[in-house]
Amino acid sequence: MTNATYHVPVVQTHYARILVEVFSDYGLNKHELLSDAGLPADLFNMNSDFLPSESIKRLIFLTSSQLGVTKFTDLLTLVLRRRIIPNVLHQFASFDTIGNAMEHIADIFHIDSPGSAVSFEMNHGHTWFCRFSDEANTTTSDWSEMFAIIYITELICTLTNTKWVPSKVRLQSRCGDIVKSALPNQCQVFIGQEQTGVYIPDDILSIPIQISESSPATETPNIQWHTSFTDSVFELLRPYVRERNLSVEDAAQLLSFSVRTFQRKLKNEGTSFRHIKESLMYCVSCELMEEGHSLTYISNQLGYTSISHFSRAFKRVSGLSPKVYKRSIALNAPNT
């Protein structure tokens, strides 16, 4: 499996729910977290398997800003150790040592976060867990690097049953003050690198993997993700269409593209944002009608200024008016 097959970095919705749940339990306002991070308002009820990684990056940045570096780092470490990493341990059961598992780390990560650019590389006799982002030196990139470093550190500690801490870290950031403040003083930090990296020494790589019997015995099913950029965009934007009238600027920001790049990538697959938006409107409208909502509610929910505007848009896509479609649902509903 190669990273090239994934066009939009995503993360499983399950993990977003865990983070929001824990942060709100810690005293932060759940609705504000969802709104400010750009996460769907119905995150805990939606049935989409994946969300754009950009929303999770903003969630981490916003929460860290409210809690402060030390408190947030401690909380994130706890969440990873107790709630997130246990869900992936079964993927390491077939590997003998940490080194053997690291050789396959890209495939393992792609199951939970398709599109994540991680690798295991040797450089001048040193072996590194690496993670690349093309958004270095942004408001969220420092915390994204911190998340990756804490994640791999806690993962190795769990798999080796040790309290290992990294001795060398590479950062894409040109500053790195946030990361430095959360690492041990003896850890060497190299800034302005091509990739984020955590040095993993040979003595750690040779340790046999130790998965505790108390770890979850049930494997979470692998969720298949879309290899078409258009399909990926459609699925990722669908939860957001239920709550607002998405512009092309909104969509590009959610997916972490410039508007120009976003439109070009859609054009390369023979489509446009307008076409996707109309398809999303039709799909979500049908879902809401089948849930029993009124046309007024649906029109407002999708951001139309009037029912007549909504009706024209619906008929343009389906060939039917929403009233006719809603009537057909009622006629085809099983008798109770």
pLDDT over threshold 50, residue 185: yes
Query: Does the model's pTM come out above 0.95?
Result: no
Report which of residues 107 and 202 the model is more confident about: 202
Decide if 164 contacts 157 (C-beta within 8 A): yes
Structure confidence by residue, pLDDT tens digits, 281-329: 988 898 888 888 899 999 988 888 889 999 988 888 888 888 988 888 7
- Cα gap 288→243, rounded to integer Å: 12
Across the range 51-77, mean pLDDT stands at 89
Q: Which helix (H) or strand (E) holds 56?
A: helix 53-67
Task: Report the side by side order of strands in the sheet with 188-190.
Answer: 118-123, 126-131, 196-199, 168-170, 188-190
Do β-strands 126-131 and 118-123 pair in parallel, antiparallel, or remain unpaired? antiparallel
- Cα gap 299→295, rounded to integer Å: 6
Domain definitions of the chain by residue range = 3-205, 229-331
Decide if 131 contacts 195 (C-beta within 8 A): yes
Q: What are 10's strand-pairing partners?
A: 52
- E strands of the chain, at which residues? 10-12, 50-52, 118-123, 126-131, 168-170, 188-190, 196-199
Q: What are 189's strand-pairing partners?
A: 169
Confidence category of residue 4, pLDDT binned at 50, 70, 90:
very low
Q: What are 170's strand-pairing partners?
A: 190, 197
- The third-level CATH classification (topology) of the domain covering 229-331 is Arc Repressor Mutant, subunit A (1.10.10)
Structure confidence by residue, pLDDT tens digits, 74-101: 999 999 999 999 988 989 999 999 999 9
Amino acid at 167: S
Sign of CA dihedral 119, 12, 3, 134: negative
* Residues ≥6 apart with Cβ < 8 Å to 167: 186, 187, 188, 199, 201
Structure confidence by residue, pLDDT tens digits, 140-159: 778 888 999 999 999 999 99
Task: Give, rounded to a whole angstrom, the gap between the first and last alpha carbons of the chain.
Answer: 48
CA distances from 258 to 60, 271, 277, 278 (A): 22, 17, 18, 21
The per-residue DSSP string of 129-182 comes to EEE--S-TTSTTHHHHHHHHHHHHHHHHHHHHTS----SEEE-SSS--HHHHHH
pLDDT over threshold 70, residue 21: yes
Q: pLDDT at position 10, please?
A: 82
Sign of CA dihedral 50, 53, 55, 57: positive
Neighbours of 175 (CB within 10 A): 12
pLDDT over threshold 80, residue 280: yes
- The third-level CATH classification (topology) of the domain covering 3-205 is H-NOX domain (3.90.1520)
Three-state secondary structure call for residue 11:
strand
Decide if 178 contacts 146 (C-beta within 8 A): yes
Report which of residues 227 and 236 the model is more confident about: 236
Q: pLDDT at position 335, please?
A: 55
- Cα gap 58→61, rounded to integer Å: 5
- Cα gap 8→181, rounded to integer Å: 31
